[in-house]
Amino acid sequence: MSLFKELTVKPWERKGIIGGLEAEGTFDTSPEKVALVFFVVVASVIFSLFAVSYIIRMELPDWAPLAEPTQLWFNTALLVLSSVFFQWARNITKTDSNKNVMTAFVGAGLFAIMFIAGQYLTWENLQAEGFYMTSNPANAFYYLLTGVHAVHLLGGLWVWSIGLIRMISGVEAKELKLSIELCAFYWHFLLIIWLIMFALMANT
Amino acid sequence: MAYVPLADQDSEQELHHPKSWVTEWVFSQDHKVIAIQYGGIAIAVGVVALVLSLLMRMQLGFPDSFDLIDPSQYYQSVTMHGMIMVVYMLTALLLGGFGNYMIPLMVGARDMVFPFLNMLSVWTYFLSVLILLASFFVTGGPTGAGWTIYPPQASMAGTPGHDMGIVLMLASLGVFIVAFTMGGLNYVTTILQYRCRGLTMMRLPLTVWGLFIATILGLFAFPALLVSAVMMLFDTLLGTSFFMPAVIEAGTPLDYNGGSPILFQHLFWFFGHPEVYIVALPAFGLVSDVLSTHARKNIFGYRMMVWALIAIGGLSFIVWAHHMYVSGMHPYFGFFFATTTLIIAVPTALKVYNWVLTLWEGDIRLNAPMYFAIGFIFTFIHGGLTGLFLGNVVIDLPLSDTYFVVAHFHMVMGVSPVLVLFAALYHWYPKVTGRMFNEPMAKAHFWITFLGTYAIYLPMHYLGFLGVPRRYYALGETDFIPESAQDLNAAITIAALVVGAAQILFFINIFWSLRYGKKAGPNPWGSASLEWQTPDTPPVHGNWGDELPTVYRWAYDYSVPGAHQDFIPQNVPESEEPTADEQHFDPNHDQSKANL
């Protein structure tokens, strides 16, 4: 039933059971996925507000644009690979075979860890070159946005590591189907967020 | 094939059965225990805030007689009172307390979708309260920057708690938001996915609708507070200049440069205004159910009530700058925000009319919860009307920094939700504890609180018109404030002390009745909604015994013509309308008849 139609029902008129023999959720999917979609919306609001603050703060006279390190392109490639590997793992769980699922799942996580390490390296390099957080708001935003993004990725890696432990301890990949699907979804989301943040910082 | 919720699969929802006293009462994953933990912590910290307000009132009413607090402590009291009451008491008690208790019972589920996350939520909330209260014991004490914690003032010398106090406040808010997000994801997912068979969204009690919309508001609005808290922590601890402008502190220029304090205000109020409705919408829902039950009448205009909740929720995100008229803004902005602010009065007024029309020709039972619910209609109308004054830029500018604003927001989002909370606490007390409270004591509690409220806040409107500024430790001597204003202040203080003391009646009542109250029976008010139809009272772990309920009707079948009694529970099919025996409806527990 469409949302509009559902909201215009007159509940006092119709008695009896509405729906089938079983209880039905509003969305035809698992509660974990519903919760994750809501969380993704919350995270989007957080990043949008940071982006809005960035744009407003940018207008003020003391802003000196930061030349983003070239290394970011390399890091971006790592994050793309991580996302691709998760999608690969997800596609495997949709088939009957389990082949390569471990490789894809482990690879996805490792690329994400390498991405975070790469981001940390850019911090070190910027510090070494004298681009401190306090010296300019553009620098401060660089550390802040990359940091908040990395924290979100670390949260994802925590879920990934639980999946990894279960996989190593011999749990069938089929039973991890939901975890893998949700990880892939979350990673694609964080990739999109990163691309937007990168574009925002690189163009200003 | 439609997705079958875990709760209804053969394997049953996996409940974490408590194995020891600790897992049953301390680290419990049962939504009812978590609700009581949330509620207990919220009420306890609310009492701290109440005591702070009484300290402030003693200072304001009798500035020369008492020497309880100095100016710094006054500002710290103002700040902590405001922040605790809005965030740590009202939000936590309404969403964490009532949300946790009501949602699974009202939607016919065994528990929340993610019980472990729910447990983490309450303990994270507890941690945030501990961090907040810790600020009373650090050097410099808690922050005294006002609950809006505006930079740059909040972190500069001269403001109490500018060093550790503000840091702990920001950290505590961050932790609270994490706790709220964990709980909030649980509430929305449970409402959307775990409703029992036959329970469509439009058959939900308005309590669930209020909690649902408020949770969504919270999930969208709290990120703004989180973002501003994080950036302000960076400014305070790491020396960045997101919000901090170039500024001179006691003759010395600080290392900040070029930040925008106005940006903070926008972020803060983008959270701050929806926060008003995060508190108000659950209260609207709860009071609707209390009014309908005790008026023995279906809620008037159920669909309109749902639409109004949604409309208020949406509009609440485009009115925030009406808190910032005095900060200065482009006149067209002011015009826009004044217009949206006045528009939001339309769905709100619609709700008020519907509450009144629910009472119209109802078979009203004047039980104690009904007293509080009707009292709420009064205070909410008064607070709402003064909101219309303040929504206009030209009226807001002279009144903004006076007691008129204090009176307005205390009426509309202080006293009103608190009256609903008392209505709801008394109304659901028999379900939660299995015992009745003491009715005469509850009514005495009502009258003192309700009349006392007016004795406190009506004169404040007048003080505001006189131009008495808010936030001042002492008035001193001015040309425009007559001496008699001080007499009014003294009277307000006396009323506040009486109201404060009267809350002891509430605590005596709930603790005394826990042991000595009459046994309540499963459904003492004759309520139609699902939470009163549990096989056990109080509901046990898993809520519903062997089988989940099936819902055949909406939650408001009161006084249905031709029915055997004046309510039909949601889980009763049309073919077998109930007889009095089947419903265990014991007229002896009908308090109105017992006491009239």
Question: Domain locations in chain A?
Answer: 31-202
d(CA B181, CA B295): 36
**B112 contacts chain A (CB < 8 A):** no
Residue B581 has pLDDT above 60, yes or no: no
- A23/B5 CB distance under 8 A: yes
pLDDT band for position B10 (50/70/90)? very low
How crowded is residue B26: how many other Cβ atoms within 10 Å of its Cβ? 13
A11 and B302: CB-CB below 8 Å?
yes
Given a cut of 70, is residue A52 above it in pLDDT?
Answer: yes
pLDDT at residue B578 is higher than 80? no
* Pick from A20, A29, A140: CB nearest B240: A140
Under the banding of pLDDT at 50, 70 and 90, the label for residue A23 is: confident
Residue window 145-204, chain A: list those with CB within 8 Å of chain B. Answer: 148
Which one of A54-68, A166-180, B293-307 scores highest in mean pLDDT?
Answer: B293-307
- B12 pLDDT exceeds 70? no
**What percent of chain B is predicted at pLDDT more than 70?**
94
Say yes or no to pLDDT of B596 above 80.
no
The mean pLDDT of chain A is 93
Query: How far away is chain A from the Cα of B276, in angstroms, using its nearest Cα?
Result: 19
Q: What homologous superfamily is domain A31-202 in, according to CATH?
A: Cytochrome c oxidase, subunit III, four-helix bundle (1.20.120.80)
How many C-beta neighbours within 10 Å does residue B445 have?
A: 25
- Taking 90 as the threshold, does the pLDDT of residue B404 lie above it? yes
- Residue B567: what pLDDT? 94
Q: Are B185 and A38 an interchain contact pair (Cβ–Cβ within 8 Å)?
A: yes
The residue among B528 and A25 whose pLDDT is bigger is B528
Pair B226, B174: CB distance under 8 Å: yes
Which pLDDT tens digit goes with each residue over B160-209? 999 999 999 999 999 999 999 999 999 999 999 999 999 999 999 999 99
CB pairs under 8 A between A and B: 170
Give the model's confidence band at B595: pLDDT under 50 very low, under 70 low, under 90 confident, else very high.
very low
Q: Provide, rounded to the nearest whole percent, the portion of chain B with pLDDT above 90.
A: 85
Please determine, for residue B26, whether its predicted confidence score (pLDDT) is greater than 90. no
Confidence of residue B321 (pLDDT cuts 50, 70, 90): very high
Tokens found for residue B478? 């001015």
Tell me which amino acid residue B530 is. L
Question: Looking at residue B11, what is its pLDDT?
Answer: 40
Q: How confident is the model at residue A174 (pLDDT cuts 50, 70, 90)?
A: confident
339-368 in chain B: CB under 8 A from chain A: none
pLDDT above 50: residue A142: yes
Pick the residue from chain A with its C-alpha nearest to B199.
Answer: A18
Read off the pLDDT of residues B88-117 as tens digits, 9 standing for 90 and up: 999 999 999 999 999 999 999 999 999 999
| B399 pLDDT above the threshold of 70 | yes
Which of chain B's residues have a Cβ under 8 Å away from the Cβ of A24? 2-5
ipTM over 0.85: yes
- Using a CB-CB distance cutoff of 8 angstroms, which residues of chain B are in contact with residue A45? 219-220, 223-224
In tens, the pLDDT along B258-275 reads 899 999 999 999 999 999
Question: Please, which pLDDT band fits residue B576 given cuts at 50, 70 and 90?
Answer: low
Task: Please state whether B539 falls in left (phi above 0), alpha (psi between -120 and 50) or beta.
Answer: beta
Does residue A136 contact residue A63 with C-beta atoms inside 8 Å?
yes
Residue B533 has pLDDT above 60, yes or no: yes
pLDDT score recorded for residue B14: 63
As a 3-state breakdown, chain B gives helix, strand, coil percent values, each rounded to 5, of 65, 0, 35
Alpha-carbon dihedral of residues B37, B41, B47, B49, nearest 10 degrees? -150
Query: Is the confidence at residue B18, as pLDDT, over 80?
Result: no
Q: Is the pLDDT of residue B591 over 50?
A: no
The alpha-carbon gap from B197 to the nearest alpha carbon of chain A, in Å, equals 4
pLDDT at position B2: 43
Residue B589 has pLDDT above 50, yes or no: no
pLDDT bracket for residue A55 (50, 70, 90) = very high
Structural tokens at position A159: 């879920």
* Pick from A43-47, B245-249, B577-581: least confident: B577-581
Quick check: B200 and A61 CB within 8 A? no
Interface check for A42 against chain B (CB to CB < 8 A): the answer is yes
Closest CA to B2 of A176, A181, A94, A26: A26
For residue B65, what pLDDT band results from cuts at 50, 70 and 90? confident
Average pLDDT over residues A54-66: 93
Structure token pair of residue B234: 């960076």
Look-up of token digits 């163009």: A203
Q: What is the pLDDT averaged over residues B534-540?
A: 93
Cis, peptide link before residue B573, omega less than 30° from 0: no
* Helix ranges restricted to H, B295-362: 302-315, 331-343, 345-359
> Band of the pLDDT at A172, cuts 50, 70, 90?
confident
Write the pLDDT tens digit of every residue in B70-89: 999 999 999 999 999 999 99
| Whole-number pLDDT of residue B5 | 46
- The pair of three-digit structure tokens given for residue B85, joined into one six-digit string: 């009451």
Mean pLDDT across chain B: 92
Structure-token match 């309908």, residue found: B292
How far off is chain B from A23, nearest CA to CA, in Å? 4
- Judged against a pLDDT cut of 50, whether residue B6 lies above it is answered with no
Whole-number Å distance between alpha carbons of B517 and B93? 24
